[in-house]
Amino acid sequence: MKFRTLAAVFGLLAAVVGCGPSPSGEPSGNAGSSGSNPASWARPPVILISIDTLRADHLPAYGYGGVETPYLDALRRDSILFENAYSPVPLTLPAHASILTGRRPPGHGIRDNVGYRLGQDVPTLQGLLRDQGYATGAAVSAYVLRRETGLGEGFDRYFDTIEAEDRAPMALVQRSGAQTLEPAQGWIRQRLEAGEPFFFFLHLFEPHSPYEPPEPFAGRYRHAYDGEVAAVDDVIGRFLAFLREEGLYEPSLIFALADHGEGLGDHGEDEHGLLLYRETLHVPLFLKLPDQVRGGASVTSPVGLIDVLPTVADVLDLRLPEAVASSLAGNSLLDQDLGPRNLYSETFYPRIHFGWHELRSMMGERYHLLEGARAELFDFVRDPGELEDVLADQRRTFRAMEADLARIETRFEDPGIASDEERAKLAALGYLSAPATTTGTLDDPRDSLPILHQMQWAFQLSAEGRLEEAAAALGALLKTHPGLQDVRLRRADVLRVLKRYGDAEKELREAVRRSPSMLPAVSLQLAEVLLEAGDAEGAAEQAAAGLTANAGRARLLMAQAALASGDLTGAQEQARLALGESIPPEVPARLLLARTHLRQAQHSAALRELDLALGAAKRVRQGPVRGLQFLRGEALGRLDRLTAAAAAFEAEIAAFPGDAKVYVQLAFVLAAAQRFDEIEPLFDRLVVARPADESLQAAADTLEKLGNKEAADRWRRRAQNLISDQRAR
């Protein structure tokens, strides 16, 4: 591995890189828009742009004609393009760990998106640069790269909080690139004002599934994936324009790359993680040197994402500690002797989540060796789609590459157990999170794709609300493949929603029997089932067993169980303990406290908690919270603040129009305010929102309680007529 070559080979940094900041501590030279000119700094800014799930062969720079990417095209003209760059693993977290450490997955230890954490003893690019006086910042767009994974270590600022506009699953686990740009640009401006050299890591989640490009890209492209590629190009264009405006583009060292590709149906894989063919390993890689040196050049030799850290060390002329340098698996991308080389890739995703064989591969200049329970060899120069196995005709090549593969350590540690929160959020991104249980010989994932497709179909039925069908499909899978724990946990979720609590409990207890280490996380799911089934005591016991998995969630469930048992003091105690946890479930905990206050006729105290809950929801830009305005209406009504109570109930109806009890409570408030003529039109709105005989009966019962028997009888006749019509149909 070579370092310290750039200045010697290109003779460039003397002009771009001076001897240091001016004696005053401020950068010298002409001021940019922020009052600084980083072109005169001792070390160039380092910027890493990572585009999640971008196949190289879906960019015009790599010969694709199906999408327009004007901003990446412009960057390519200023950059060195690496035609054959590869990811070491087709999963977001371990791939980024390799980018930031220069190590293969066996070297940094992260083998999946869940259950692993980067050790503090593993040197990272951000840590090395911070030791050299660089400010270090990052902004990521997905839950997968949250700071708890260890990737945040070494960054002075790590923007990973995803503020949800609504409570849809995807809104809680990813944000658009445009949203991620805002904190990125603000942090960089602060570094300019301070005159600090900096490293910034910008992660953009488009075009990861689900493919939902915004307009105008959605309407412009027939394939939604291509629309997402165009959308992320637009975000990159905005970021590069910002760098130019601030005087940062010219002097910066900029990497633009992808962490892995996407299957898009090739070899039977729609997304990524399970297989190791080129469509998920071949990634774009642009390297823009300061002053655009070698802009427009291309390199055909195989390179890897593990080469990023050594390249930064090379360009900045860093003398890495021997312990660090010897641990790196990569080379500087500027090495002049980049020659024949085999790049290692792996995926343990099939082993962890399906109980199938892991896959490992070596990618060379022409051939790709793929090994699992069996081996394949592809000549991807002649056969870029990797459709024809040439192992039988290329035995010498196979043996040489197999020997290279055998030299890569196979050390593997099982993942930790995901919490219920992690499981739910990763499921929203399409990732499995529960380790499978298996015995005997491991099947090869390439031969087991029909099982994956059955799982995807069953999960889709669940997502579409076709719950009876989903329960049946998931149950059928478990009969033939009982070790699929993700399937078992998903079936328990479906059965709970179907109110088949006994069946849900059986599935959860079977999951723990098969994997006892899953007890804390599964206990929380079981507590929820028992609570809904009316077993408050059992729910409290299971919630307590889940404290180590998610203390905030466990405390909240214990509070709910206490409330269900009528123990208001215990409910308040547990809710307040939940609020004190490191990740507090603030909004639901405050709603629960409000309920306990209402039961104690402490209406002002209830209102205070509800206002705090409303403020907490607004802070994270959370959308309407079911029940919050309903409880506010109850508290305000009991305080005789009838106008405000009516407004709160109307707000609940606007957000959740089908809940009859809200209309009923609003009717009583209207009656108390002598607004009788508004009551029947209110119930007409309920019938429009929920055209069922229960809505008509609720109206009739309420009108009778208010003393209007004539109107009540009229509404009961409407209910009877509706029932008769339904029977006739």
447 pLDDT band (50/70/90 cuts)? Answer: very high
Does residue 437 belong to any structural domain of this protein?
no
Instruction: Please identify which residue in the block is written with the tokens 């095209």.
Output: 73
Tell me: do 375 and 270 sit in the same domain. Answer: no
In this structure, is residue 529 part of a structural domain?
no
Note the pLDDT tens digit of each residue in 603-660: 999 999 999 999 998 887 778 999 999 999 999 999 999 999 999 999 999 999 999 9
The C-alpha atoms of residue 425 and residue 399 are separated, in whole angstroms, by 43
Distance CA(12)–CA(2), nearest Å, equals: 18
Model pLDDT for residues 10-55, shown as the tens digit of each residue: 333 333 333 333 333 333 333 344 444 544 567 899 999 999 999 9
DSSP annotation of 331 reads: -
264 shares a domain with 215: yes
The four Cα atoms 670, 674, 677, 679 give a dihedral, to 10 degrees, of: 20
Q: Is residue 681 part of a domain?
A: yes
Residues 326 and 371 in one domain: no
What's residue 19's pLDDT? 33
Beta bridge partners of 287: 80, 255
pLDDT band at 438 (very low <50, low <70, confident <90, very high): confident
The neighbouring-strand residues paired with 139 are 159, 202
DSSP H or E stretch at residue 588: helix 586-599
Domain around 61: 6-18+41-340
Give me the helix-helix angle, 449-463 and 485-497, nearest 10°: 20
Q: Is residue 368 part of a domain?
A: yes
Residue 400 lies in a domain: yes
Dihedral class, residue 416 (left if φ above 0, else alpha if ψ from -120 to 50, else beta): beta
**In terms of DSSP bridges, do strands 343-347 and 359-363 run parallel, antiparallel, or are they unpaired?**
antiparallel
Banded pLDDT at 176 (limits 50, 70, 90):
confident
Q: How many other CB atoms are found less than 10 A from the CB of residue 241?
A: 12
Question: Does residue 97 lie in a domain region?
Answer: yes
User: Count of CB atoms within 10 A of residue 453's CB?
Assistant: 13
Tens of pLDDT, residues 179-211: 899 999 999 999 999 989 999 999 999 999 989
**pLDDT grade for 480, boundaries at 50, 70 and 90:** very high
Residue 91 lies inside a defined structural domain of this protein: yes
| Terminal-to-terminal C-alpha distance of the chain | 78
Q: Are 380 and 292 in a shared domain?
A: no
Of residues 35 and 226, which shows the higher confidence score?
Answer: 226
Give yes or no: residues 89 and 142 share one domain.
yes
CATH assignment at residue 674: 1.25.40.10
Give the per-residue SS3 of 473-505: HHHHHHHHCCCCHHHHHHHHHHHHHCCCHHHHH
pTM of the model: 0.83
pLDDT of residue 441: 84
Dig out the tokens for 198 from the structure.
């900096």
Residue with tokens 């030299």: 407
Residue 157 belongs to domain with CATH number? 3.40.720.10
Does 387 map to a domain? yes
Q: Among 349, 384, 406, which residue terminates a domain?
A: 406
| Structural contact between residues 279 and 55, judged by C-beta atoms closer than 8 angstroms | yes
Structural domain tally of the chain?
Answer: 3
Report d(CA 298, CA 381) in Å as an integer: 17
The residue with tokens 């080389």 is 341
Distance, in Å, from the CA atom of 230 to the CA atom of 225, rounded to the nearest integer, reads: 9
pLDDT digits (tens, 9 = 90+) for 284-315: 999 999 999 999 999 999 999 999 999 999 99
Q: Which residue has the higher pLDDT, 428 or 611?
A: 611
Mean pLDDT, rounded, of the chain: 90
At CA 660, angle to CA 656 and CA 664, rounded to 5? 115
User: Mapping DSSP to helix (H, G, I), strand (E, B) and coil, where does residue 508 land?
Assistant: helix
